[in-house]
Amino acid sequence: MQKQTPEEQVLETLDRLSGMESSFCAVYVAMSRLSSENRGYRQLEIVSKLFEPLLNHAQSRLFLLSNHDFLLITAHPSLETIDDVLYQIKSLFQDDVLISLQKPSDFEQIFFLDREMDRLKALIEAHRQKISTNVQTPSTPSLVEAFTPEILEKILSSLEHMDTLDFIRRQAVVKLSSKGQNKVFFHEYYTSILNLQKALCPSTDLLTEKALFHQLTETLDRRMLGALSHVSLYDYPSAISLNLNISSLSTPIFEKLAKSWPTRLIVEFQLSDIFTNLKGYHQAVKILHDKGHLVALDNITALDFQYLDVLGLKADFIKLFWSPKWAQPEYERQLYALIKSNPKVGLILSRCGSEDALQWGKKVGLHYFQGRFIDAILAALAKNSCTFGQECSLSTCLICRSVLSGKLRQQCVHQRHLDAPLEIKVK
Amino acid sequence: MSGTLGDLIQFLEKFQDDPKGWVLGLFFDKISSALTEEKLKVIVDNLKTFENERLCRLFLSEQEAFLFVSETRPDDLKALLIKIRFISGMQNTTRKEGETYAIFHLTQDFDKLMNILKGQTVISEKPVLTSASPLTQVFQTHTDSMPFTPALLGQLERALQHADLSNITRRQPVCAIVGKSPPLELFEEIYVALSDLRKALCPNVDIYESPWLLGRLLETLDRRVLESIIHHDAGSFNKNFSLNLTVKTILGPDFQKFDETLNPALKETVLLEIKQSDIFTDVSAYLAARSFAANKGYRICIDTVTADSLLFLNREKLGADFIKLIWNQDLVSLAEDKAFIQALKQNDPSRVVLCRIDDKVAVELGQAIGLSLFQGYYIQKLLYQNPKAHKSR
């Protein structure tokens, strides 16, 4: 006998409520509406935990639908409790780009079953039919294999025989000033985890196990530092930034690169690494400053600013992880105050994936920007100013500009132009 | 003259057709962490005296002793056991028969005993971690030190999956000390003694050389401690204790099961200790975990806080009930530092536990800066010198 799908279980449950609808309501949370990075198993676990206050009696049941949306059916609901739970769930995903583009009712709905039973049944029936016709919705997360120590061992072993340069990418940080003196301020060089994962372990999500991932990054640091010693570009930006573990700064290979690289280095650190070894971080800052290099904090969210004295870490740059949450009044005010009282701290708005992010950043007084939207602008400028620009698509230009060597870069017939400084005009 | 375990096997094989008699087995390395060499010598001397005075045979190794007595003398054995339990402190532990000692009546237990002696099984149902366990063979084949690799971590995790960790699980009290008053125990931190784990499973591996792999191992141990509490020691761990957990574990199914075993009325006496680095890896996940745990009634403690990281923390904002501040000599000079004192004040000194204390200087300094909660080997020693305070919680 075929196992019932969650949708079938829901419909069966709703049928059993016939005659008792007035006592019941349903709460629907559409996880499928979120970006893929917010629909992993960990996020689903967190959300299921947040439903707990509503599951405290026998007449409550939580369903996880096939597309990973949640449906809670409960008797005698406390609307205040429902509101609290939904508020907590929404707070978790304030950073999600897709949330900001949709109506609130697209993400969460409450159905009062005495009058909305049919509407709910229709919604679930539509899901059920999609499954039965094997229609893959774009929101269905793919299955992942657990990231285990054994898989890490295999990855590390594979890395010994690979050219890491193939996985190194660069992304520009631009400075846009009100006086029109726009330029590429520095390039971030990083190992593309996505491409590494695709090549070595496509069914494993390397970000699900933080400790193992950090261990992997220690090796990736060394491989990247070694690979950069062999990079040869036509032009170098005034600085490059590297995401490194604190421990990597005391390696001979970092010393070698720091001496041989022709321009300034900016070393980016993660909060998780800093708060594992705060003393080591302070020492690293001193060492880098003594050598004329700079320090950046990476992936700083609005919540980090709320709960931590980020400025107290005395970095030269802080990379703000863009999300619509920054545009909320309390965070915007905080940022205004920060910019006013700390004009020397370079605040970089990273993960600018849209013009909205850029415009917001300019509005609050930020000057440094990084992200896919900026990449697209730079690629368009490069293509337009290139003698052979007509021969390439914008996406090809984007890809070629993001790599330092290898087959992808060789697609470009005018490689010198990939490294050339660009005149940036942004409205 | 006492024989070896090999001699014991040969001795018992003579009876295999008609086994009679009693055997007392003592497992020294599992008896007690407080079993000093001196105490061990006293026990062995008592065993030898017993052997000389009665018709019995003693067989000894470094880790175990087996005493055989004839069929008519079981009470002698039991009396001896009472004395040995008293000498070793076994009577004060919650460990069960089968872990620290076992009595075999050969009429029924001959095969069981022979299997144990020949290494085919162990007394408790789960393999108990000892340096002689077959599980350790992988890690002990080399005399040179071995690097701590992911592959080795994987093997360790597999070895730990079904092992009984009770002999390497430790409790350390957190006490209130005010002025010259003796320490008053508030709760105990339950943890796995990494040094004992290393000794048992991989003495040639420096597990501290790779902090991230060690972090992963600790996560695995966290979950095993949770399971251990659920399945074996529910009577001992039902209130007034703390556990080291990650945000991920709190939000996972293992904690859910643990939560279901506890009396809801007593959850308030249980503290969940979360490392500061875990909090700042993903603040939103921490907030979800904190909210979830607090709704259930648990209290939260921010662990591994140092004097310099205290300056960045706001305990109240983070919704934590306590902070564990690691003692080190730097605190001596920081006692005059305005920024540090201000940070301490902001976080409420009455909610800060000064931990890893190894001498009275730390207590005196802690008190001087307004602290009253302490933890460490020195505190443990003080507390056990005053048994009333230990039992009064």
Taking all residues of chain B, what is their mean pLDDT, rounded to a whole number? Answer: 81
B220 Cβ under 8 Å from any chain A Cβ: no
| Per-position pLDDT tens, chain A of length 427 | 556 788 989 998 998 888 888 888 999 999 887 866 677 777 888 888 888 888 866 688 899 998 889 999 998 778 888 888 887 887 777 666 555 555 666 788 889 898 889 889 988 988 887 776 554 444 434 446 789 999 999 999 999 888 888 899 999 999 998 777 788 999 999 999 988 998 898 888 888 888 999 999 999 999 999 999 888 888 888 899 999 999 999 999 999 999 888 889 999 999 999 999 999 999 999 999 999 999 999 999 888 988 999 999 999 999 999 887 788 888 888 888 888 888 788 999 999 988 889 999 999 889 999 998 999 889 888 888 888 888 888 888 888 899 888 888 888 888 888 888 887 765 5
Fold held by B5-125? Alpha-Beta Plaits (3.30.70)
Nearest-Cα distance to chain B for A304, in Å, is: 7
**Cβ contact, residue pair A271, B280, below 8 Å:** yes
B147 touches chain A (CB under 8 A): no
Contact A276 B292 (CB under 8 A): no
**B212 touches A211 (CB < 8 A):** yes
| A342 close contact with B: CB closer than 8 A | no
Considering only A90-94, B211-215, B250-254, B298-302, which range has the smallest mean pLDDT? A90-94
Residue B344 tokens read as 């301490």
| Cβ–Cβ gap A53/B252 under 8 Å | no
pLDDT given for residue A305 in this prediction: 86
B240 pLDDT exceeds 70? yes
The number of C-beta contacts closer than 8 angstroms across A and B is 108
- pLDDT bucket at B111, cuts 50 / 70 / 90: confident
Dump pLDDT digits (tens) for B243-255: 999 998 898 888 8
* A312 and B CB contact within 8 Å: yes
Q: What pLDDT was estimated at residue A281?
A: 96
Q: What gap in Å lies between CA B161 and CA B165, rounded to an integer?
A: 10
Q: What is the reported pLDDT for A215?
A: 95
Is B154's CB within 8 Å of A45's CB? no
Q: Which of A95-104, B57-66, B284-293 has the highest mean pLDDT?
A: B284-293
Is A45–B309 a contact, with Cβ atoms under 8 angstroms apart? no
pLDDT band at B149 (very low <50, low <70, confident <90, very high): very high
Residues of chain A with Cβ-Cβ distance to B289 below 8 Å are 46, 49
Say whether B149 and A91 touch across the interface (CB within 8 A).
no
Percent of chain B exceeding pLDDT 90 equals 31
Nearest by Cα to A187 from A177, A199, A172: A172
Which pLDDT belongs to residue B165?
Answer: 82
Please check the confidence at residue B272 and state whether its pLDDT lies above 60: yes
Interface test with B, best of A55, A94, A152, A309 (most B CBs within 10 A): A152
Instruction: Say which of B151, B215, B318 has its CB closest to residue A307.
Output: B318
CB A302 within 8 Å of CB A91: no
Class of CATH domain A6-132: alpha beta
Does B150 contact A at CB distance below 8 Å? yes
B210 part of contact set with chain A, CB < 8 Å: yes
Task: Nearest chain A residue to B217 by CA: give it.
Answer: A211
Alpha carbon distance A73, B354 (integer Å): 47
List of chain B residues whose C-beta atoms are within 8 Å of the C-beta of residue A150: 150-151, 154
With bands split at pLDDT 50, 70 and 90, how would you rate the model's confidence at B169? confident
Q: Is A314 on the interface with B (CB under 8 A)?
A: no
pLDDT of residue B122: 40
Name every chain A residue with its beta carbon within 8 A of the beta carbon of B213: 149, 211-212, 215
Angstroms from A272 CA to nearest CA on chain B: 5
Cβ of residue B204 closer than 8 Å to a chain A Cβ: no
Query: For residue B220, what pLDDT is reported?
Result: 92
Find the residue in A nearest to B339 (Cα): A312
Q: Which of B212, B248, B276 sits opposite A215 (nearest CB)?
A: B212
Nearest Cβ partner of B312 from A95, A277, A309?
Answer: A309
3-state secondary structure chain A: CCCCCHHHHHHHHHHHCCCCHHHEEEEEECHHHCCHHHCCHHHHHHHHHHCHHHCCCCCEEEEECCCCCEEEEEECCCHHHHHHHHHHHHHHCCCCHHHHCCCHHHHEEEEEHHHHHHHHHHHHHHHHHHHHCCCCCCCCCCCCECCCHHHHHHHHHHHCCCCHHHHEEEEEEEECCCCCCCEEEEEEEEECHHHHHHHHCCCECHHHCHHHHHHHHHHHHHHHHHHHCCCCCCCCCCEEEEECCHHHHHCHHHHHHHHHCCCEEEEEECHHHHCCCHHHHHHHHHHHHHCCCEEEEEEECHHHHHHCCHHHHCCCEEEEECCHHHHCHHHHHHHHHHHHHCCCCEEEEECCCCHHHHHHHHHHCCCEECCHHHHHHHHHHHHHCCCCHHHCCHHHHHHHHHECCCHHHHCCCCHHHHHCCCCCCCC
Beta-strand relationship, B56-60 and B64-69: antiparallel
Locate the chain A residue with the closest alpha carbon to B284.
A92
Would you state the pLDDT for residue B15?
74
Domain limits of chain B? Answer: 5-125, 150-391
Chain A residue at shortest CA distance from B343: A309
- Gap from B196 CA to chain A (nearest CA, Å): 22
Q: Is the pLDDT of residue B131 over 50?
A: no
The CATH H-level superfamily of A149-419 is: EAL domain (3.20.20.450)
Let me know how long chain B is: 393
Reading across the β-sheet that carries A60-64, which strands appear in turn? A60-64, A70-75, A24-29, A108-112
The CA angle A104-A65-A132, to the nearest 5 degrees, is: 120
Confidence of residue B124 (pLDDT cuts 50, 70, 90): very low
Tell me whether the CATH fold assigned to B5-125 matches the one assigned to B150-391.
no
Q: What is the pTM of this model?
A: 0.70
Which of B252, B311, B312 is closest, CB to CB, to A45?
B252
Residue A27 is predicted with a pLDDT of: 93
Query: Can you read off the two tokens belonging to residue A138?
Result: 């774009």
Segment B348-360, tens digit of pLDDT:
999 999 999 989 9
Is B251 close to A46, i.e. CB distance below 8 A?
A: yes
Nearest CA distance, B160 vs chain A (angstrom): 14
Q: What are the structural domain ranges in chain A?
A: 6-132, 149-419
- The answer, yes or no, to whether residue B50 has pLDDT greater than 90, is no
A211–B contact, CB cutoff 8 A: yes
Residue B361 has pLDDT above 80, yes or no: yes
Best CA proximity match to A277, nearest among A311, A244, A316, A306: A244
Nearest-by-CA chain B residue for A278 = B309
Amino acid at A158: S
pLDDT of res. B293: 92
B22-27, strands of its sheet edge to edge: B56-60, B64-69, B22-27, B101-105
Best B148, B290, B312 member to test A by mutation, with max A CBs in 10 Å, is: B312
Interchain contact, B284 vs A92, CB within 8 Å: yes
Q: Is B67 on the interface with A (CB under 8 A)?
A: no
The stretch B64-74 carries a mean pLDDT of 78
Q: Among all residues of chain B, which has the CA nearest to that of A311?
A: B312
**Cβ-defined contact of A282 to B157 (cutoff 8 Å):** no
Residues of A in contact with B279 (CB under 8 A): 275
Question: Does residue B55 carry a pLDDT above 70?
Answer: no
* CATH superfamily label, B150-391: EAL domain (3.20.20.450)
Q: Is A307 on the interface with B (CB under 8 A)?
A: yes
Q: Are B182 and B382 in contact (CB under 8 A)?
A: yes
